[in-house]
Structure 1
Amino acid sequence: MKPNVLSRGLRLVLGWAWLGAALAASAQPVTVGDDHGRTVTLPRAAQRVISLAPHATELIFAAGGGERLVGVVEFSDYPEAAKAIRRVGDNKAVDLEAVAALKPDLIVVWRHGNARRQLEKLGHLGIPVYESDPRRLDDIPGALERLGRLLGTSAQATQAADSYRQQLQSLRDRYAGRPPVTTFYQVWRQPLKTLNDEHMVSDVIRLCGGVNVFGKLEPLVPTLSDEAVLQANPEFMFAASMGATHSHRPVDSLDGWKRFPRLTAVQRGNLFYVNGDLINRPTPRVLQGAALICEAMEEVRGRR
């Protein structure tokens, strides 16, 4: 019996030692650079966090900090636990009084979704603000690791980042050297819009061996004419289907292109839809969307 008693006692001592070390680490000041090069310093790991973008909510959960979230914006629907967190507005309009009342010690924002004027007002609250804006597939693991440092959850964040890197490399290895597929991504039908090569969606297209036919255009979200698409004559066309972020408007259907039967994508039945939240949110789930698009491109190659 004595060895068991000693063993339990040793485990208890080690457990308390680990907890003490974790608490000591969380009490230390932490400094990281955000995605726009701004330095964010906290006196200790964040305990009460507000996320003002759905993708940031996902990243925080993936980095192990979901329990620290006290406020989020609309369409923060993943993982399931995010749905129960208090709403403080949406991407464009934030209830600043509600934000202040929640007494956060960190606010995570997205410059392209949160209105600049509101970001300036947030700055006046004196609460540290971290700007989350991963632009490339390779940016996501670093984003997880930086958030992990801010939240005091580096172990979980590092594990998530390593898993992501492995999955990304697996996809690269699988589709490297595949014959190119000229591709058009339809963001919006009226007016007709797409994304250029600076957007992460184009990173996904390249990963799968595709070529964005409008990748060189400016700005990030170019407006097009039907004639431009007909002239580019892509072999593969895809659009976003329903996701939480798209549920407030109908799907921008590709069916209208069927009136142009000489369009290669139409002629070969290469019109594809993917859940918008899997490709438009810069989170680990983007690799799920990428895998679906890569599989679709393989079908496209098989129809030649």
Structure 2
Amino acid sequence: MLWWTNKRRVRTLSNAALCVLLLSFLPLAAEALPLIDDRGAAIERKRPAARIVSLAPFITELIYAVGAGGKLIAVSAYSDYPPAARALPRVGDAATFDVEKLLALRPDLVIAWKSGNSLSEIERLERLHIPVLVVEAQKLDDIPRVMRLIGSAAGAADGETAARNFTDRLTALRLRHRDKRLVSVFLEIWHSPLMTVSGRHFASDALTVCRGANVFADAAGLTVHVNVESVLAADPEAIVGGASNEDRGALARNWQRFPYLKAVRNGHIFYLHPDLIQRQTPRILDGVEQLCAALESTRKPAGSPK
């Protein structure tokens, strides 16, 4: 009886030891799983990235948002938020980057912008055995997904929390405005030449949260050159702009020569800081809140306080 008890105890201990051994391999197995980026490419990883280069300002901001800013060793031009990013070395801009300078920094991960960075230069880095994670956020709902992807690549514990917070806040904004009257809007992203965005652009997606209707939603491409005559024909209830304008005054002055335009006639010209509507980061929800407040003022009866 004693022999059986001891044998069973030994077997129990052996099973426990086996479980511990198997569990010890789980982190290694999880680390070995490749990340699938927005090209559909598999990025092999043995451990979280520790030396990261960002090739777009919004990517820089997202890296900080998931708590991995301390792993950044270089960024692209115009990476100005948060302020800590301004102190980092620059390796180029969104359109091109200095491959030799980047290689000298010995990064273990480069995070690139699918629609902004050169594919040939990305492939060159990969031929030189530099892992490149390529991301794209075309809609607001893509932003938390990209945050999770970057957080996973960097081993950042805050990635999931940041993503959930973004989704919760976005859901609340949609619920708050879903029954509002639709307002037609011209989104001006540049004045000379006059440019807007189509319905496939994330800035247009932001507009829909506020029950705004992009008057050029059906245009081809993402960013679109338009003429003044087409804006006059659309006669939007509101004009929303930023980028090439310093403030609302500059934006309004550009349109004052068209007093018969509905948005001009009613004073429904609104300025948004471009970083709050043209960067795919958590701050875009600050821009959405400002945008929703602006469009709400267009729904008030004439003569009522705005």
TM-score category by the smaller chain? 0.7 to 0.9
2:75 alignment partner AA: V
Q: Secondary structure at the match of 1:280?
A: coil
Alignment TM-score, normalising by the size of structure 1: 0.85
Which of 277, 293, 296 is residue 295 of structure 1 equivalent to?
293
Structure 2 residue aligned with 1:102: 105
| C-alpha contact (below 8 Å) 2:190/2:243 kept by paired residues | no
Counterpart position of 2:203: 201
168, 171, 190: which one aligns with 1:169 = 171
Alignment-derived partner of residue 255 in structure 2? 257
Quote the Cα distance in structure 2 between the aligned partners of 1:116 and 1:169. 34
Separation in 2, partners of 1:178, 1:27 = 46
Unaligned runs of 5+ in 2: 1-23
* Deviation at residue 241 of structure 1 after TM alignment: 4.3
Matched, 1:275 2:273: yes
1:137 aligns with: 140
Equivalent residue letter for 2:223: V
Q: Percent sequence identity over matched residues?
A: 38
Q: 1:28 Cα shift?
A: 3.1
Distance in 2 (alpha carbons) for counterparts of 1:267 and 1:200: 28
In structure 2, how many angstroms separate the alpha carbons of the residues matched to 1:123 and 1:278? Answer: 33
Q: CA deviation at 1:254?
A: 4.4
What is the total number of aligned residue pairs between the two structures? 275
Describe how 1:115-126 pairs up with structure 2 within 5 A: 115-126=118-129
Q: Deviations over 1:65-117 (max 9, x none)?
A: 11111110111111121112111122123111111111111100113222333
Answer yes or no: is 1:151 the counterpart of 2:154: yes
Root mean square deviation, CA, Å: 2.1
Q: Please state if 1:62 is matched with 2:41.
A: no
Q: Deviations over 1:108-152 (max 9, x none)?
A: 011322233322322322111111211111111111111111111
Larger Rg: 2
Q: What does residue 92 of structure 1 align with? A: 95
Q: Which amino acid aligns with 1:149?
A: S
Q: Find the aligned partners of 1:56 and 1:29 in 2 and give their Cα distance.
A: 24
Tell me the amino acid that sits aligned with residue 94 of structure 1. F
2: CA distance, partners of 1:275 / 1:25 = 44
2:226 counterpart of 1:224? yes
1:53 to 51, 56, 62: 56
Partner AA of 2:71 in structure 1: R
- Cα offset for 1:36? 2.6
- For the Cα contact (< 8 Å) 2:272–2:287, is it kept in 1? yes
Unpaired runs of at least 5, structure 1: 1-20
Whether the 8 Å CA contact 1:73–1:91 is kept in 2: the answer is yes
Moved more, 207-216 or 106-115: 106-115
Give the letter for the 1:204 counterpart.
Answer: A
> Which fold has the larger relative contact order, with Cα–Cα distance below 8 Å and residues 6 or more apart in sequence?
1
